[in-house]
Amino acid sequence: MSSGLSLPQTLAIMVSGAGSNLRAIVEACEGRRLSLHPTVVISDQPAAPALAYAREAGIAVLPIPIRNYPDREAWERDLADHLAALEPDLVALAGFMRVLSPDCVARFAGRMVNIHPSLLPRHPGLHPHRQALKAGDPVHGATVHLVTAVVDAGPRIAQIRVPVMAGDDETALIERTKSAEHRLYPLVLEWIARGRLALTADAVFQNGVKLVEPILVNDLI
Binding mask 200-219 for ligand GAR (x = CB under 6 A): --------------------
Q: How far is the CB of 42 from ligand GAR (least distance, A)?
A: 13
Q: Name the DSSP letter for residue 63.
A: E
Q: What angle do CA 170, 158, 48 make, to 5 degrees?
A: 50
Q: Is 116 a catalytic residue?
A: yes
Q: Phi-psi bin for 141: left (phi > 0), alpha (psi -120 to 50), beta?
A: left
**Which residue, judged by CB position, is nearest to ligand GAR in the bound state?**
95
Judged by CB under 6 A, the residue of 94, 144, 189, 215 near ligand GAR is: 94
DSSP state of 158: E
Q: Which of residues 106-125 bind ligand GAR (CB under 6 A)?
A: 115-117
Task: Tell me which of 178, 184, 187, 192 binds ligand GAR, using CB under 6 A.
Answer: 178
Tell me how far, at minimum, the Cβ of 95 lies from ligand GAR, in Å: 3
In sequence order, what are the residues at sequence separation of 6 or more whose Cβ sits closer than 8 angstroms to the Cβ of residue 61?
40, 41, 42, 43, 51, 54, 55
Of 116, 123, 129, 140, the catalytic one is 116
* Residue 192 makes contact with ligand GAR by CB under 6 A: no
3-state secondary structure 112-152: EEEEECCCCCCCCCCCHHHHHHHHCCCEEEEEEEECCCCCC
DSSP string covering 77-93: HHHHHHHHHH--SEEEE
| Residue 25 binds to ligand GAR (criterion: CB under 6 A) | no
Q: Is 181 in the site for ligand GAR (CB under 6 A)?
A: yes
What amino acid positions are annotated as catalytic residues? 116
Binding site for ligand GAR (CB under 6 A): 15, 17-21, 50, 94-95, 115-117, 178, 181
